[in-house]
Chain A
Amino acid sequence: MLNCHDATFLLSQRLERDLSVTERANLRLHVTICRGCTNFERQLPTLGKAARAFASHDPGAEDSSS
């Protein structure tokens, strides 16, 4: 059984490489029962979007959202 450190490490690596079948199965098993890692998994795509928003933000669009 994976712990949270190992599960988040796999979730992070999944953005860079294909996980093996075993890794995917172990990951699913852990994330299904772990709320913290479920939240981490959902937040990962937001981090990337945030970074790109930060790099290329359009000042004209800021006023409308605040």
Chain B
Amino acid sequence: MDQLVSGRFDAGGPGSTFDEPFIEQVRAEMLRFARLQLGDDAEVEDAVQEALAGALRNERSFRAEAAFKTWIIAILKNKIADILRRRQRHKSLAAQGPNDDFETGEYSAAFDSRGKWQEMSRPRPWGNPEESLHSQQFLAIFDSCLGCLPARQARVFMMREIIELEPAEISAETGLSMANIYVLLHRARLGLRACLESNWLGTGAQTC
């Protein structure tokens, strides 16, 4: 096996399984993923570098690039969780800025004053979209929709759905109450849903 790959660029040491463009691509994706959670921060680069180095030490266990990536993301998730825990000791997310996610009105904009769907906001059937979840176009739209959410909603949503933390863990790490976490997740899902429906399924032209 090793002589088959020895002609490829030496990305992770002699006999590296994966070539440099692939490693660079993985690094870029990991950085993007980590920045969503941690913001643009020196810690992000360190976490990515450590996860990548750790994974490359064991790269020969992985023949397929996809399996390697899945594993490296798992390492990175743990590192992000560690950093979030460490940050918790210094500051809490709840203490950052005004509570602009919690509107003063009773319902978010998708609903009328009696809590019914606004005509424009009522969810429509999505058919069977799961086939396109991995398309480049979808990923770009998802990226921009996530960016449209208020920062705190996006962060809690990512903690829950990507890092797959339990609500109690999110509460411990952010200082937010469970009730607030439920509200933020509800808002995030409503916002993301509406944005995806209008941009991905082509029912509207607005960005957010």
Contact = CB atoms under 8 A, between A and B. Distances in A.
Contacts of A59: 25
A55 to B, nearest CB: 5
Interface residues of A, number: 38
A50 B142 CA distance: 8
A14 B139 CA distance: 26
Interface string A10-41: 00110111000000000000000001110110
B148 interface: no
Interface of B: 25, 29, 33, 65-66, 69-70, 73, 107-108, 110-111, 114-117, 122-126, 129-139, 142-143, 146, 157-158, 160-162, 167, 181-183, 185-186, 189-190, 192-193, 196
A11 B68 CA distance: 35
Given A8-B190, A54-B143, A65-B135, A46 B124 contact: no
Nearest to B136: A62
Secondary structure at chain B's binding surface: helix, strand, loop or mixed? Answer: helix
Contacts of B143: 54
Given A6-B115, A65-B131, A65-B135, A52 B126 contact: no
Contacts of B70: 56
A18 to B, nearest CB: 12
Contact of B134 (A15, A40, A58): A58
Contacts of A44: 189
B111 A40 contact: no
Contact of B185 (A3, A12, A35, A50): A12
A43 B182 contact: no
A56 B68 CA distance: 11
A47 B69 contact: no
A59 B25 CA distance: 9
B158 A40 contact: no
A66 B185 CA distance: 31
Contacts of A35: 122
A3 B186 CA distance: 15
A47 B133 CA distance: 10
Contact of A53 (B108, B133, B189, B190): B133
Nearest to B65: A60
A5 B126 contact: no
Contacts of A37: 117, 123
